[in-house]
Amino acid sequence: MSNTTKTRHPGSNAGVNIPYLFYLGLTAALGGLLFGFDVAIIAGAGPFLTQHFQLSEISMGIAFSSLLFGCALGALVAGLVADRLGRRLPLLWVAALFAVTSIGTGVAPDFHALLLFRFLGGIAVGGASILVPMYVAEISPPLYRGRMCACYQWAITTGILVSFLLNYLLRNAGNWDWFTSHVCDLGPWNWRWMFITGVAPSIVFYLMLSRAPETPRYLFRSGHEQQALDLLRKILGEAEAARELLEIRASMTAEKVTRRDWAKPQLRKPLTIGLILAILVHFSGVNTVVDYAPVIFRSAGFGMDAALFSTFGVGLCFFLFTIVSLGIIDRYGRKPLYVVGSLGMCLVQALLAFAVYTGRFEGNLVLVLILSYIALFAACIGPVFWTLVPEIFPNKVRGEAMIVPVVVQWVANAVVVLLFPLAFHKLGKGPTFLFLGIMALAQALFTWRYVPETKDKTLEEIEALWSSNGTDTAVPIVRSIKDDIT
C-alpha cells in the first residue's frame, strides 16, 4: 500500500459543529414553515371566505393572489436591504410582520381589509423567501448545504401540512363570542381562526432569531473579519474555518461590481438561469394544486369535508416526499433531480388532461394523480430550486442578484394563482392541465441544456464556474491555490 498524504477537501465534515448547525438550520427553517403556512392556509379558508364575501371567480383569484403580489414586493425590498443591513435583522422584522398580519387577516371586517392584510403578509413571506435561503447557504458547509436548503423546503411543506390540517380541524369552529358581543359581529369565525393560528410560530421564530448570529460572509463583507472567523470556527472547526475565510476573502476583495459588470457572463449567466427557472417553477403548476386543491377535488365529485381531508393528504404527501429529498439532493445532485421531476410532472399533467377528455376526471384517479404530481415536485423540484438559486450567485452580489429570480417567481406565482379560477372554469380543465404540462416539459429541457451541477462545490467554486464557460475546469484551480496556501 502506498504511503500517500490525504488532503482534506474544504467540504470535509471533520470538525463541523453539528448541534450548533442544527440550531441555526432549525431557526431558519421556521421562516420556511411560516412561508408555507401563509401561502397555503387560504386553500381551506378560501371556500368559506368566498361564501362569506360572496366572491366572483375573478374576486376569488384576487383574494388568493393578493398575498403573492405582496411577496414580490417583500422579496424586492429584502434583496435591496440584505447587502446593507445583513440577513438577521431583516428576518426579525419579517417575523414580527408575520405575527401582526396573521391577526389582522383573521379579524378583517371586510374584503378590502382582508386583501390589505394578505398583501402585507405577502411582504413577510417574500422577505423570508429571499433572506432564509441566503442565510442557510451562507452558514452551511458545502457537504451539508444541499440538505440544509432541502430542510428549508421541508419546513415550507411542514407549514403547508399544518395549514391543511388546521383547515380541516377548524372547518366547523365556532365564533369568538366575546369579540362578537363587545367589538362587532364578523360572521362565521371558522376561516378566521385558520389565519389567526399563524401568530404562535411567528413568535417562536422571532425568539429563536434573537439568539442566532449574522452569517460569516456578511460579517466579513461589513468589516467584522474577526467575528466572521470566530463564527466559522464555531461552525466548521479551526482548520476548515481558516480555509473557508481564505475563499471568502478572495471572492470579496475582487473589484467592485459595476452596472456594466451585470452584462458580463459571470453575472449574466446565473441571472438568466435563475430568472427562467423562477418562471417555469410556477408556470408548471405547483401552486394551482397547493392553493386550489379543494376546488380541484370538488370539481372531481368530492364533498366539502372529503375535499378538505384530501387536501390534507396533499400536504402530507408534500411533507413526506420532501423528507425523501433530504436523502437524495446531495447524493444525486441538483440537475438530475430537476430533469426527472419535471418530466414526471409533465406526464401527470398529461394524464389529468386525458382523464378530462375521456370523462374519467373523478374520484380516486384524480386524487392519485394529484398526489403523484406533488410527490415529484416535493422530492425533485422544490428543494432544488431553493438550493440552487442562492448557490449560483457570486458572494459580492448575492443579495441584489437574488432579487431577480425570487421576485420573478412570486410574480409568476401570483399570475398563475390569479388566473387559474378563470382558466379552470372558463377555458376548461383539459386545456389548463395541458398548458401546465407543456411548461413542465420546457422546465426539463431548459435544465438539461443550461443548468450546471453545483453538488459538493463551495460557493466560491460555483462562482468560478461562470468565469470558465460553465465547465468545471476552474474548480481544481480554486482548490489547488487554497491547498498551496494552507
Residue 97: all three cell numbers together: 410582520
pLDDT value, residue 76: 87
Residue 270 in any domain: the answer is yes
Identify the domain containing residue 382 by its residue range. Answer: 18-225+232-240+251-455
Residue 483 in any domain: the answer is no
Residue 127 in any domain: the answer is yes
Residue 482 in any domain: the answer is no
- Report the distance separating Cα 118 and Cα 417, nearest Å: 14
CATH number at residue 77: 1.20.1250.20
* List of long-range contacts for 410-414, beta carbons under 8 Å, 24+ apart: 410/68, 410/69, 410/71, 410/72, 410/75, 410/122, 410/126, 410/129, 411/69, 411/72, 412/278, 412/279, 412/281, 412/282, 412/283, 413/68, 413/71, 413/282, 413/287, 414/65, 414/68, 414/69, 414/71, 414/72
> How many domains is the chain partitioned into structurally?
1
Which residue type occupies 138?
E
Residue 53 in any domain: the answer is yes
Residue 484 in any domain: the answer is no
Per-residue pLDDT of the chain (486 residues; tens, 9 = 90+): 434 333 344 445 557 778 888 888 888 888 989 989 998 899 888 888 888 888 888 898 999 999 999 998 998 898 888 878 888 999 999 999 999 999 999 999 899 999 999 999 999 999 998 888 888 888 888 777 777 776 777 788 889 899 999 988 888 776 666 665 655 655 678 888 999 999 999 999 999 999 989 988 888 888 888 888 888 888 887 777 888 887 777 776 655 666 666 666 678 888 889 999 999 999 998 988 888 999 999 999 999 899 999 999 999 998 999 888 878 887 888 889 999 999 999 999 999 999 999 999 998 999 999 999 999 999 999 888 878 887 888 777 776 787 888 888 889 999 999 999 889 988 899 999 999 999 999 999 999 998 888 776 777 777 777 765 544 433 443 344 344 434
Residue 29 in any domain: the answer is yes
Residue 137: all three cell numbers together: 447557504
Which residue type occupies 192?
R
CB atoms closer than 10 angstroms to residue 67: 31
- Report the distance separating Cα 227 and Cα 215, nearest Å: 10
375 close to 317: Cβ distance less than 8 angstroms:
yes
Looking only at Cα atoms, what is the longest distance across the chain? 84
Distances (CA, A) of 117 to 98, 107, 187, 307: 10, 10, 18, 27
Residue 461 in any domain: the answer is no
41 close to 163: Cβ distance less than 8 angstroms:
yes
- Report the distance separating Cα 424 and Cα 418, nearest Å: 11
pLDDT value, residue 259: 66
214: left (phi over 0), alpha (psi -120 to 50) or beta: beta
User: Which residues, including other chains, have CB under 8 Å from residue 381's CB and lie 6 or more apart?
Assistant: 281, 284, 286, 337, 338, 341, 342, 345
Q: Among residues 390, 386, 381, 388, which one has the least CA distance to residue 325?
A: 381
- Report the distance separating Cα 279 and Cα 141, nearest Å: 29
- Report the distance separating Cα 271 and Cα 472, nearest Å: 19
Q: Name the pTM for this structure.
A: 0.76
CB atoms closer than 10 angstroms to residue 88: 17
